[in-house]
Amino acid sequence: MKQRILTGLVLAALAVSIILFSPTPLFAAIVGITWLIAWWEWTALAGVTSQAMRIATTVLVATALAGLWFARETPLWWIVIGLGVAWWLVAAVWLRHFSFGASPVRTNRSLKLIAGLFALVPAWAGLMQIHGHPSLGPVWTLFALSLVWAADSFAYFAGRRFGRTKLAPRVSPGKTREGAWGAMAGTALFALACATLLGERGADLVALLVLTVLVVVVSIVGDLFESLLKRQAGVKDSGAIFPGHGGMLDRLDGVFAAIPVFAIGKALIDLTLPA
């Protein structure tokens, strides 16, 4: 636990510094590299054993991110983010049929790689959309990511204290429904405090709290889906890059799911409820 806490503090300080003080192009590059590390781990969980194939798909993802950056002023940008939201609805159905894709055959490997594209690429675009917003973009980026981090913490402590009923025992036996409720309630209170400091009031504040709960729910789906991949791959962690925390994918699973939802939700709030 001590190692886990120390690693978490270092990662949090580094992440906050990068989010708040990097211009969006630099932020895009840093996050892109981080995403590629996560993708490398995803290919292993998908069952890809050929190093050449893993390198080739990593280059493909890097090319997709670079191409998408130059399309950020076009409708394609929002289409990609929207596809990310749609994917996590599909992932929720996949979780209900947890044995789907478990066999280590080529078709299932391909399905999991496609799933990875729908998870990672839209999340990167969504994060750049939030960070590049002309009004407090980096601050809202930190807020969005903090929702996922807070949800993880509240779920952990609520689950330890009150957890009785398993949330998805065949996918992730350690997660409980009480932990999920604790994540939603605690993160909503956290969002209320932060949004008030950001000057949100009235209908904007209510809409943002509703969005917060949706983000938490979807982040749990992202967490569970990675747990499903790890269970089918027969591993505990996606990697060992962070002492006490596992791999990059272990730190970003909820983020991949939450960010497209937050990006679209925040844009709709700004559009329909102008300050």
> Per-residue pLDDT tens for 176-195?
999 999 999 999 999 999 99
Please name which of 89, 115, 88, 118 lies closest in space to residue 101, comparing C-alpha atoms: 115
* Beta carbons within 8 Å of 75's beta carbon, 6+ residues apart: none
State the pLDDT at residue 232: 93
Angle, CA of 230, 54 and 221, to the nearest 5°: 30
Read off the DSSP letter of residue 246. Answer: B
Measured between alpha carbons, how far is 126 from 260 in angstroms, rounded to an integer? 5
Indicate the burial class of 230 (C-beta count within 10 angstroms; 0-12, 13-18, 19 or more): buried
Each residue of 27-37: pLDDT tens digit?
999 999 999 99
Cα atoms in the Cβ-side hemisphere of radius 13 Å centred on 250: 16
Place of tokens 């892109």: 32
SS (H, E, C) 200-215: CCHHHHHHHHHHHHHH
Evaluate if residue 39 carries a pLDDT over 60.
Answer: yes
- Three-state DSSP at 167 gives strand
Range of the domain at 28: 2-272
State the pLDDT at residue 168: 92
Number of folded domains that form the chain: 1
Q: Check residue 234 and give left, alpha or beta (phi > 0: left; psi -120 to 50: alpha).
A: left
Please name which of 1, 125, 23, 105 lies closest in space to residue 65, comparing C-alpha atoms: 125
Evaluate if residue 128 carries a pLDDT over 60.
Answer: yes
Measured between alpha carbons, how far is 99 from 177 in angstroms, rounded to an integer? 21
Read off the DSSP letter of residue 3. Answer: H
Evaluate if residue 228 carries a pLDDT over 70.
Answer: yes
* Beta carbons within 8 Å of 78's beta carbon, 6+ residues apart: 264
Average predicted confidence (pLDDT) for the chain: 92
Residues 252 and 197: beta-carbon distance below 8 Å? no
